[in-house]
């Protein structure tokens, strides 16, 4: 299908600041499951660095805006043609080996409850195929953490989300990374977009899920929030070891001012 995406991120400052510098992971790359038809990222008054691909295969570009400024607005508009690969990531160029995704970060460090969830999910599956074990972990996270917007924040850890039994896609993805790495399976965090289905399945237009490295297949996506593997309704932006590392926008502001964030995302079927 063809998916049309409009995404605005606006940072407003209570008083003028001297400038801002940002690193953007905001441009999808071509894989067997997606092809970028057109894509633009615009920031008024920005000076842009040259784009490059990092070791994880993400398309990165830096930009700076000189002040005094009262806001920074990052506007994305683009179209991506997708196809269903059953969650398997193929045709993706990257240099970082899967082994680099076996160590937890501060955000994905498993506590006793996450370790027990991992053990329970894989009980009796010692000789099972790697893909079956990965599906079992994703299902266990989906069962343990109900999808409930507003229950967690950007700083919530998977241990905290599991303890309260509710969260959003970020919590599901980081919890799956945690239980997978505890089981010795490389896992990473993925950001992107999701075209909402018509059956009322809970989702967020700006979305996150996890990829687990499965023997014989390579990286495979799992979305516990929607109990599925990414299909043609998903657009993949980039990846990292956790939500902070995979953040689409990372940056600093020169100045000390209270900041307000506004985000608007529209994901539509471009053929309708």
Mean pLDDT of 19-47: 97
58, 87 Cβ separation under 8 angstroms: no
246, 24 Cβ separation under 8 angstroms: no
Q: Give CA 68 to chain center in angstroms.
A: 32
pLDDT at 197 over 80: no
pLDDT at 199 over 70: no
Its sign, for the CA torsion 95, 93, 157, 221, is negative
Listed by start position, the domains of the chain span 2-81+248-269, 84-240
CA distance 136 to 121: 6
* DSSP secondary structure letters along 27-40: E---BTTEEEEEEE
Q: Whole-number mean pLDDT of the chain?
A: 94
Q: Is the peptide bond before 30 cis (omega within 30 degrees of 0)?
A: no
pLDDT at 16 over 90: yes
Where does residue 55 rank: exposed (0-12), middle (13-18), buried (19+ CB within 10 A)? exposed
Eight-state DSSP code of residue 152:
-
Write down the pLDDT at residue 270: 84
Eight-state DSSP code of residue 258:
-
Write down the pLDDT at residue 256: 87
Q: What's the chain's Rg over C-alpha atoms?
A: 19
84-240, CATH topology level: C8orf32 fold (3.10.620)
Eight-state DSSP code of residue 100:
G
Eight-state DSSP code of residue 131:
H
189, 208 Cβ separation under 8 angstroms: yes
Strand-pairing partners, residue 47, are 64
Q: What angle do CA 97, 102, 103 make, to 5 degrees?
A: 120
Q: Give CA 216 to chain center in angstroms.
A: 24
Say whether 253 sits in a helix, a strand or coil: strand
Per-residue model confidence as pLDDT tens digits over 100-146: 999 999 999 999 999 999 999 999 999 899 999 999 999 999 999 99
Q: What percent of the chain has pLDDT over 70?
A: 97
Mean pLDDT of 85-107: 96
Rounded to two decimals, what is the model's pTM? 0.94
Mean pLDDT of 175-195: 97
CA distance 207 to 225: 10
195, 268 Cβ separation under 8 angstroms: yes
**Domain range 2-81+248-269, its CATH number among 2.60.40.2250, 3.40.605.10, 3.40.47.10, 3.40.50.970:** 2.60.40.2250
| Of the listed ranges 43-52, 149-158, 185-194, 225-234, the one predicted with least confidence | 149-158
Pick the closest to residue 134 from 20, 216, 63, 69 (CA basis): 216
pLDDT category, 168, cuts 50, 70, 90?
Answer: very high
pLDDT at 204 over 70: no
pLDDT at 200 over 50: no
Per-residue model confidence as pLDDT tens digits over 222-267: 999 999 999 999 999 999 999 999 999 999 999 888 999 999 999 9
């Amino acid at each position: 299908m063809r998916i049309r995406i409009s995404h605005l991120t606006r940072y407003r400052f209570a008083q003028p600041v001297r400038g801002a510098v940002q690193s953007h992971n905001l441009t999808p790359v071509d894989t067997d499951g997606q092809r970028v038809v057109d894509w633009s990222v615009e920031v008024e008054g920005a000076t842009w660095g040259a784009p490059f691909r990092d070791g994880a295969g993400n398309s990165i570009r830096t930009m700076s805006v000189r002040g005094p400024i009262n806001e920074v607005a990052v506007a994305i508009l683009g179209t991506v043609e997708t196809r269903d690969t059953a969650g398997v990531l193929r045709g993706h160029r990257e240099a970082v080996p899967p082994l680099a995704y076996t160590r937890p970060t501060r955000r994905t460090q498993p506590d006793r409850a996450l370790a027990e969830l991992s053990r329970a999910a894989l009980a009796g599956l010692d000789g099972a195929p790697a893909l079956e074990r990965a599906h079992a972990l994703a299902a266990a996270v989906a069962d343990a953490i109900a999808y409930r917007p507003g229950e967690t924040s950007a700083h919530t850890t998977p241990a905290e989300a599991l303890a309260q039994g509710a969260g959003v896609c970020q919590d599901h993805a980081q919890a799956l990374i945690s239980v997978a790495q505890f089981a010795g399976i490389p896992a990473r965090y993925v950001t992107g977009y999701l075209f909402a289905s018509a059956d009322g399945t809970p989702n967020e237009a700006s979305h996150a899920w996890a990829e687990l490295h499965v023997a014989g297949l390579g990286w495979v996506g799992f979305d516990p929030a929607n109990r599925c593997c990414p299909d043609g309704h998903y657009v993949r932006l980039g990846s990292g070891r956790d939500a902070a590392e995979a953040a689409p926008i990372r940056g600093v502001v020169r100045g000390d001012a209270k900041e307000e964030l506004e985000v608007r995302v529209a994901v539509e079927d471009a053929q309708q």
